[in-house]
Amino acid sequence: MLTVQLSRTACSRWVATSLTRPRVALCVRWNSTIAQDGPAVSETNRAEATMKRFWDKVGVERRGSSLAVTLDGRALKTPSGKVLALPGNKSLLASLIAAEWDHQETLLKPHALPATSIASRAVDGLGEQTTRTEVQEALLKYIDTDTICFYQDYPPQLERLQSEHWDPLLEWARTTFGVEINKAESLLFSTQPEATKEKLRNVISEFDQWQMAAMERATYSTKSFIIALALVKGHLTVEQAALAATVEVCSQIERWGEVEDTHDVDYHDVRRQLGSAACLLSNI
């Protein structure tokens, strides 16, 4: 059995930097127990009640063909009670999830577990084709209101950033998938051709549970189907996707300056969400 114990090293410090200052803290339930133990053990119930760290060591263990993140030897479980079993080729994801839990020093901070939550989403809900189809249809609705399809010609800073970040992305989508994508100036009369929607539906219908989970989080984080698709397909890096998603905010900062505890929080939040989606797709 391969066991890797993580300490608060440079990896944990990197996670600490990237996973701080949330916009919204969501309280979620994480069960921790050995696979054959069944329901959640009392330590988990105590953690839910006190929101305090109860484990000493965090590890990554190979169990058959899968990887499991462990707290004092007990495998993490998803909110529905399934063991959070990761494919054997996702050691980077497993290490990041382990680092997230190792960084929980005294009080549990659910907002600082983005990799854990997105991996749980993939295991819990998106392993079945029926759920993936439902998510697919929900995401396709974003095409008609996609962030990068609505241009403004004022102020100059916004116009420049739109051309810099959105024009190449729209051209990529058109040429890569052979679709027509309309630009608009108003949400009132915006729509994309049905042929475009059908082609993009076919593209994401081939996604597995990991790709669909990444697509879902990236779409909801950026309010853009196209940005999310480019991230999942490897056309954009996390930073490029974040910049494309925050064009309007960046133009405001250029004009008026940064608002403390607002713009800086949003800056880290979108990168945290997109970063977790990108790590979910890694096969390292």
Closest C-alpha to 195, from 210, 209, 206, 180: 180
Q: Is 70 exceeded by the pLDDT of residue 58?
A: yes
DSSP code of residue 215: H
Q: Which residues are bridge partners to 68 per DSSP?
A: 61
pLDDT of residue 6: 43
Task: Give the pLDDT mean for 33-54.
Answer: 53
pLDDT in tens, 222-264: 999 999 999 999 999 999 999 999 999 999 999 999 888 788 8
pLDDT in tens, 186-212: 766 678 999 999 999 999 999 999 999
> Cβ distance 59 to 3 under 8 Å?
yes
Q: Is 80 exceeded by the pLDDT of residue 3?
A: no
pLDDT in tens, 91-114: 999 999 999 999 998 888 888 999
Report percent pLDDT > 90 for the chain: 71
**Tokens matching residue 90:** 């996702």
CA 224/CA 240 separation, integer angstroms: 13
Q: Is 90 exceeded by the pLDDT of residue 26?
A: no
Name which residue leads in pLDDT, 46 or 274. 274
Task: Give the pLDDT mean for 158-177.
Answer: 97
> Cβ distance 247 to 168 under 8 Å?
no
The mean-pLDDT minimum among 72-76, 113-117, 123-127, 263-267 falls in 263-267
CA 166/CA 240 separation, integer angstroms: 11
Q: Is 70 exceeded by the pLDDT of residue 32?
A: no
CA 120/CA 123 separation, integer angstroms: 5
Closest C-alpha to 233, from 197, 259, 272, 207: 207
pLDDT of residue 173: 98
pLDDT of residue 264: 86
pLDDT of residue 187: 63
Q: Is 80 exceeded by the pLDDT of residue 15?
A: no
